[in-house]
Structure 1
Amino acid sequence: MVSNEGSGKPTTRRYSPEEKAAAVRMVRTLRAELGTEHGTVQRVATQLGYGIESVRTWVKQADAVDRDRRRQL
């Protein structure tokens, strides 16, 4: 855990929308290339130095948005 020496609270990294979108694209591309979802989020998160749960959440959110868009068509 990263700590902020002055306050004793952990620091949080804020990711830009562009960083999030790029991570989601990388996960989706890797899934398509490998033909599986297993391990793709962890691999991308590790490569980018992002938190695994953060990337997993972004992918789930993007998938939900895409599903909603398809339903509306």
Structure 2
Amino acid sequence: MERHHPVPKSRRGRDTVPVHPICHRTIHAIFTNAELARTFYTPAALAAHPDVSRFLRWIAKKPPDFYASTHKRR
């Protein structure tokens, strides 16, 4: 597990939540810190985003120790 700041530290976020490493990397590959701070700071908001929703459906079929490289946003 890794610790994720729902509101990024660069945006004065202090709270953290546990997140699986591949999920954490995917969140940061999809969103900028500004987007996370402004809109996507709750689990429900993240899950509602089409890219995250697609990722969650895909990752749900994988074993808990699954790991794959994450591609950065273009």
Scaled by the length of structure 1, the TM-score of the pair is: 0.29
Structure with more of its chain in strand, by fraction: 2
Based on CA coordinates, which of the two structures has the bigger radius of gyration?
1
Select the structure with the greater relative contact order (CA < 8 A; seq sep ≥ 6).
2
Scaled by the length of structure 2, the TM-score of the pair is: 0.28
